[in-house]
């Protein structure tokens, strides 16, 4: 699987979403990812419905595990720990999302990992952080969405709502990938490994953006505003004759293009500036929707597009994957699954100019690569032994008379 990270070997001890999403991204970039699973497997293998095929393959598991190999190890057994040691010796990166202290109790604290491999980069993802008064808490995505403030600013006013995606996990995965790439770059200069730490809590708080500074600077507590933007208007969902569309008028230039399309005077003093429009949001929305009610979503999207005003449909998930624009961006990939046959998966979000489209591998069956990974470890051990013999046999400077 050629790519920018070709030759990088990643030992993936993670499970569920945040870690597997991070390692899948690294695999998409060309790294070899060896997913280490307990004999029962990653618990998402049993998450459903929906399941696919007679074998009841979890579609949840399929979503975050493409382009990986799977080996089963009981890390509480001698053989499991010995095999993990061998993997660590030959790896570039180890990824784990255990609760703090679990890896230590298994016999692999960071110090031990770097004794085995001083160049190893360790990515550790937790729910609430690795220290602090609540660092040991387990942290699933929905829990962190509540604790980290996402739910308080999402949904209809007065109704805290969870984002419909595992947003805390995905943000943590992205931050983890960024940390790994930075550590790999730093290792080129220092020759040493590093420990990269992030958490679901840190990743969500780090994404608060303007909602965060509303409090830290302005001392205003953000509240949910539905689909409206708390600082910009008109910006959100508006009803047409046959349903809603999204419209985003984020600056004065766009306002001057948008207002005439919906029969408004751009110089109307009620709506002259962004603060004016935000202060009269309900009145402005009513004025806009009275006009939009006269025609269909398709018609209004065409008119707004002609005027250069950002607007869009509200698509269901199935419509997104059938949309030609989605497919044109490589966001749907086909893989051959050993049980399900040819299936489609959501594709990677990155492309590199000049690089040909890549073939992707299906998420692995549990333990599918046990023999192949152990054979690779045997070969790597033989090479290392041969290298050590060569160094021992090589004459030093005194023997050469220098």
Q: Check: CB of residue 366 under 8 Å from CB of residue 56.
A: no
CA atoms within 13 A of residue 316's CA, in its CB half-sphere: 2
Tokens 């001057």 belong to: 256
Q: What is the dihedral of CA 206, 210, 215, 217, to 10 degrees?
A: 100
Which residue in the list 12, 28, 169, 228 is annotated as catalytic?
A: 169
Q: What share of the chain is helix, strand, coil (3-state, %, to 5)?
A: 40, 15, 45
Q: Where are the beta strands (DSSP E) in 30-182?
A: 32-37, 51-52, 57-58, 68-72, 93-96, 121-126
Longest alpha-carbon distance in the chain? 96
Which run of H or of E encompasses 198? strand 194-199
Task: Tell me whether strands 93-96 and 121-126 are parallel, antiparallel or unpaired.
Answer: parallel
Q: Check: CB of residue 214 under 8 Å from CB of residue 152.
A: no
Q: Check: CB of residue 169 under 8 Å from CB of residue 17.
A: yes
For residue 276, indicate whether it is catalytic.
no
Tokens representing 238 are 């508006």
Q: Facing residues of 123 across strands? A: 95, 196
**DSSP per position, 310-367:** -EE----HHHHHH-HHHHHTT-EEEEEETTTEEEEEEPPS---TTPPPPP--PPPPTT
> Which residues does 122 contact at the CB level (< 8 Å), separation at least 6?
93, 94, 95, 96, 110, 113, 193, 194, 195, 196
Residues annotated as part of the active site: 169
């Amino acid at each position: 699987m050629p790519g920018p990270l070709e030759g990088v070997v990643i030992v993936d001890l993670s499970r569920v979403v945040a870690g597997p999403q991070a390692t899948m991204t690294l695999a998409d970039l060309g790294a070899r990812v060896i997913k280490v699973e307990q004999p029962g497997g990653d618990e998402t293998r049993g998450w459903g419905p929906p399941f696919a095929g007679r074998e009841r393959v979890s579609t949840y598991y399929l979503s975050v595990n493409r382009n990986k190999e799977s080996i089963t190890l009981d890390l509480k057994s001698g053989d499991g720990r010995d095999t993990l040691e061998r993997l660590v010796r030959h790896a570039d990166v180890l990824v784990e999302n255990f609760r703090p202290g679990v890896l230590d109790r298994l016999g692999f604290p960071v110090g031990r990992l770097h004794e085995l491999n001083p160049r190893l980069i360790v990515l550790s993802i937790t729910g609430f952080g690795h220290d602090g008064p609540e660092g040991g808490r387990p942290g699933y995505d929905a829990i962190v969405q509540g604790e980290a403030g996402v739910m308080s600013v999402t949904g209809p006013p007065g109704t805290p709502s969870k984002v419909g995606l595992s947003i805390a996990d995905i943000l943590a995965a992205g931050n983890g990938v960024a940390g790994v790439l930075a550590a790999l770059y730093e290792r080129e200069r220092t020759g040493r490994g590093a420990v990269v730490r992030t958490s679901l809590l840190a990743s969500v708080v780090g994404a608060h953006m303007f909602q965060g500074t509303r409090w830290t600077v302005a001392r205003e507590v953000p509240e949910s505003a539905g689909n409206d933007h708390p600082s910009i208007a008109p910006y959100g969902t508006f009803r047409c004759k046959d349903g809603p569309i999204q419209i985003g008028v984020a600056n004065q230039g766009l306002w001057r293009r948008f207002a005439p399309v919906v029969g408004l005077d751009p110089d109307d003093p009620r709506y002259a500036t962004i603060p004016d429009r935000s202060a009269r949001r309900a009145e402005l929305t009513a004025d806009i929707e009275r006009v939009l009610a006269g025609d269909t979503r398709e018609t209004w999207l065409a008119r707004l597009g002609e005027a250069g005003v950002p607007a869009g449909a509200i698509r269901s998930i199935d419509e997104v994957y059938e949309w030609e624009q989605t497919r044109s961006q490589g966001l749907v990939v086909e893989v051959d699954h050993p049980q399900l046959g040819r299936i489609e998966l959501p594709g990677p979000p990155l492309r590199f100019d000049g690089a040909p489209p890549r073939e992707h591998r299906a998420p692995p069956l549990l333990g599918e690569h046990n023999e192949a990974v152990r054979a690779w470890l045997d070969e790597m051990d033989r090479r290392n032994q041969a290298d050590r013999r060569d160094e021992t046999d090589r004459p030093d400077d005194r023997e050469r008379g220098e």
